[in-house]
């Protein structure tokens, strides 16, 4: 929880006076949250149009957050001494496939079953160390 330091004087009914402005602490906290959200937006580097386009894609169920990206390392329980790097993601109308540097293909549903994003997860699936 964030601690708020408000340099003002408390007056009647929970209101505060800061300089010449009278407001309730709820309003101060709400405004600070709005400022934080604006800072997050500005930090994203996206234009307002891009944000609107992403929001529309999400509403239309066209936006999918992938569990991995090119450059990520993957592990397979059957060969823990090796790791592979995702080199490509191909998106088709009815499926998404990942391709690693050995030209192995896997799908998002395979992650956590036959392909793992962390060596520890692959070891756990094999029962190593139990």
Residue bearing the bigger pLDDT, 69 or 25: 69
Distances (CA, A) of 41 to 46, 52, 65: 7, 12, 18
- Top-confidence residue, 22 or 125: 125
Which two three-digit tokens encode residue 121? 């997860």
pLDDT for the residue numbered 130: 58
29 contacts: CB under 8 Å, gap ≥ 6 = 4
**Does the model's pTM come out above 0.85?**
no
Which candidate, 103, 101, 105, places its Cα nearest to that of 92?
105
**pLDDT the model gives residue 3:** 46
């Amino acid at each position: 929880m964030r601690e708020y330091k408000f340099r003002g004087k408390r007056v009647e009914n929970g209101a505060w006076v800061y300089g010449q402005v009278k407001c309730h602490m709820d309003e101060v906290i709400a405004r600070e949250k709005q400022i934080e959200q604006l800072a997050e937006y500005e930090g994203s580097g996206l234009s307002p149009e891009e944000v609107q386009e992403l929001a529309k894609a999400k509403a239309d169920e066209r936006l999918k957050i992938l569990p991995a990206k090119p450059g990520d390392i993957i592990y397979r329980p059957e060969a823990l001494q090796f790791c592979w790097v995702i080199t490509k993601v191909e998106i088709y109308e009815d499926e998404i496939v990942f391709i690693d540097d050995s030209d192995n293909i896997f799908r998002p549903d395979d992650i956590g079953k036959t392909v793992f994003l962390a060596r520890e997860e692959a070891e756990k699936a094999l029962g190593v160390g139990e």
